Structure 1
C-alpha cells in the first residue's frame, strides 16, 4: 500500500467514477484503475462494487474509507510542517469570505493586511457561505471566513469559531408577513423566499429553502436587494441589516425560527500552522462580533 493508491481510492470513493476521479486528480484513467486494483490485491479484498460505469464502496471499502482519509490528511500535515521548518513560506495567500459582514469592513481589513504584511500578496474573493469549507478542502483558497452551515466532521478542514452571528428572518416593513402577530409554518411556506445558493456538491440541509417558492442567490447582499424590491422574505445576518431594522425598512418575522444563531468561523486546512496575518483578521472579527 502506498500514498498514490490511498489517494486514488479516496478520489474514486468521493466521485463514484474512475473517469471523474482521474479528472479531479489530473492523472491518467488507466493509471488510476491500476492503482485501485493494486490496492485491492494488496488488501486481498474488493473495495468497490462495480455496476456498469458506477462504483460504490463495498462493505470493506466503507470500513476503511475514514482511515484512508485520515492518512491523506496526516501526509499533507507532514509536508506542510517540513515546508514551514525550511522557511519556504507562501508569498501569496488566497482568502475567501462570504458577505455576512459589511463590505467596507473587509476593505479595511485588506488595506491593513497590505500595510502590516508587505512581503505577502493577498487575493481576497467573495464566495457563498455554503462553499467556503469546500474551497479550503479542495485547496482553491488557503483560508476562508464566514457563517458555518456545514455541521459535519471533516478531517481535512479545521473550523475555528470567531463569534456568534445572529441570523434573522426578515421581510420589508410593509410586507403582509410583518403585520402578523404570529406567522405559522404554512403561511411562511407559501410566501416567496430568497435563499442562499451554493455550488458545493455536498447536500446541506441547513441551506435548504423553507418556502415552496424561492429564488437562490450566492450572496446575502443579492438576497437583501430582492427582499427590499420584490417583496420576498429571507434569512440574513444581523451586521448586514442592523441599520435597515433601526430605520424600520425591514421587520423581523414573528416565526419560531425568526431569530437563530450560527457560528462565524475561520476555515483552514487541517495541519496548517497559524498564519500571523490570518490570526490578525481573526482577532479583528472576534472583536467586531463581540459588539453584536
Structure 2
C-alpha cells in the first residue's frame, strides 16, 4: 500500500468514476485502475462495487475511506510544513479575497504590504466568498480573506475569524419592499433577488437563493449595482453599503432574513505556516471590522 494507490482510491470514491478521477488527479486512466487493483490485492478485498461504467464504494471501502482521506491530508500537511521551513514559498504569496470590504481598503492594504515586505511578490485575486476555502484547499492560493459561509469542520483548512461582519437584506429605497412594515416569506420569495454565485462544487445551503426568481453574481459589487439599477433585493455586507444606507439610496427589508452576522475569516491550508505579511494583514482587517 502506498500513497499513489490511496490517492487513486480516494479520487475514485469522491468522483464515482475512474475517468473523472483520472482527470481530477491528472493521471492516466489505465495507471489509475492498476493502482486501485494493486491496493485491493494488497488489502485482500474489493473496495468498489462495479456496475458498468459506475463504481460505488463497497462496505469495506466505506469503512476505510475516511482513514485514507486523513492519510492524504496528513501527508500534504507534512509536505507543506517542510516546504515552509525550507523557504520554498518565501518569495511569492498568492492571496484571494472577496469584495465584502470596500475596494479602497484592499488597495491601501496591498500598497502597504508591498512597502512593508519588499522582498516578497504578492499576487492578489478577487473571488466569490463561496469559493475561498476551495481555492485554499486546492492550493490555488496560499491565503484567503472573506465572509465564511462554510461552517464545516474541514481538516484541510484553518479558519481564523478576524471579526464579525453584518449582512443586510436590502432593496432600493423606492422599492415596494421598503414600504412594507413587515415583509412576509411569500412576498420576499416572489420578489426578484440577486444572490451570490460560486464555482465551488460543495453544496452550501447558506448561499442558496431565497426567492423563486433570482440572478446569481460572483461578487457583492455586481449584486449592489443590480439592486440599484434593476430594482431587485439581495443580502449585502454592511461595510460595502453603509454610505448607500446613509444617503437613503438603500433600505433594509423588514424581514427575519433582514439582518444577520457572519464571521470574516482568514483561510489557511492546514500545515501552512502563517506568513508575517498575512499576520499583519489579518491585524489590519481586525482593526477595521472592530469599527463596525
Match runs of 1:137-156 below 5 Å: 137-156=137-156
Match runs of 1:20-31 below 5 Å: 20-31=20-31
Match runs of 1:172-191 below 5 Å: 172-191=172-191
Query: RMSD of aligned C-alpha atoms?
Result: 1.1
**By how many angstroms is 1:36 displaced?**
1.0
Residue 255 of structure 1 aligns to a residue whose secondary structure is: coil
Q: Partners in 2 of 1:37 and 1:76 — Cα distance?
A: 24
Give 1:110's aligned residue: 110
Give 1:217's aligned residue: 217
Q: Is the 8 A contact 1:69 1:155 kept in 2?
A: no
Give 2:99's aligned residue: 99
**1:54-83: CA deviations, max 9, x gaps?**
222222222222221211111112112222
Q: Is the 8 A contact 1:73 1:155 kept in 2?
A: yes
Give 1:52's aligned residue: 52
Q: Partners in 1 of 2:211 and 2:254 — Cα distance?
A: 16
Q: Is the 8 A contact 2:165 2:237 kept in 1?
A: yes
Q: Partners in 2 of 1:51 and 1:282 — Cα distance?
A: 50
Q: Partners in 1 of 2:16 and 2:207 — Cα distance?
A: 24
**By how many angstroms is 1:25 displaced?**
1.3
**By how many angstroms is 1:16 displaced?**
1.6
Return 5+ residue gaps in structure 2 as ranges.
none
**1:178-235: CA deviations, max 9, x gaps?**
0001100000000000000011111111111000000000000000000001000000
Match runs of 1:12-51 below 5 Å: 12-51=12-51
Q: Partners in 1 of 2:95 and 2:87 — Cα distance?
A: 21
Match runs of 1:65-214 below 5 Å: 65-214=65-214
The size of the alignment, in residue pairs, is: 292
Q: Is the 8 A contact 1:161 1:263 kept in 2?
A: yes
Q: Is the 8 A contact 1:220 1:236 kept in 2?
A: yes
Return 5+ residue gaps in structure 1 as ranges.
none
